[in-house]
Amino acid sequence: MGKSRQFVCAALAVLAGLFASPLVSARADGPWAKQDVVVVGGGKIARDGSVRRRLKTAIVIDFKNLALTAALKALAQAARVNLFVDGRSSATAGSGQTEPVTLRFRYPLSVADALHVILADRGLTYTAHNGVLVVGSPDNLARFVVTRCYRLQPLLLVSTRHHPALINRLQAIQIMKLVENTVDRSAWIDNGGTVNIARYLDRTLIITAGERDQWRIQRVLTMLADQVRRRNRRITRR
């Protein structure tokens, strides 16, 4: 996330540059008090978050000539998550999909890292969808797109200028560009892709993207919200 953090800092500088007058001061419990940037899909997000936390489970791996499906089942069992392998991926994945898995690590490795090692060379990937670990080709997993709305209020610097609606819209555009240039840049329609869409409406950022990209977007926006909140709190102390 080092590169994402650099983008966030750069975006914050751009947002601050939109203001020619001082930022308005307010109480510490004002609009920049800590808030969740996600406003819809809470139940599904919580279930998928549980899957991703379980995938951080560290285990000792010693697979020798194990079928791919058997290796995936063993990893899912170790992480205590439900598993679904997209059968349509066999036609589009790399030829290594049928090769047995031989993998041995002396020290514990997270299940997520093990999945990446096993799937990358086979042209496969994984995501969390509705509380289930889904494995398949990137093209097939691209159909697991969801639309989520993110609150812009925790991401906005507040100005004393006479056109707050215009200032907010300019900030929203910068935030959308931050997301599109940080998370899977080639997937966004505005960048020539075919999957991800970001739009702004009434202080809400509406994003349609794959489950995995949505998690990356949430992390980037949460980092930006933390930076904005600290900046606004410093202003209130002046």
Tell me the C-alpha distance between 54 and 79, whole Å.
5
From residue 187, give the alpha-carbon distance in Å to each of 49, 52, 83, 136: 23, 22, 26, 18
Q: How confident is the model at residue 87 (pLDDT cuts 50, 70, 90)?
A: confident
pLDDT at 77: 94
**Closest of 5, 133, 4 to residue 57, by C-alpha:** 133
Per-residue pLDDT band at 18 (split at 50, 70, 90):
very low
What average pLDDT score do residues 61-73 get?
91
**Nearest-5° angle of CA 154, CA 156, CA 162?**
140
Domains of the chain: 2-42+144-236 (no CATH), 48-141 (3.55.50.30)
pLDDT category, 219, cuts 50, 70, 90?
Answer: confident
Total Cβ atoms within 10 A of residue 132:
15
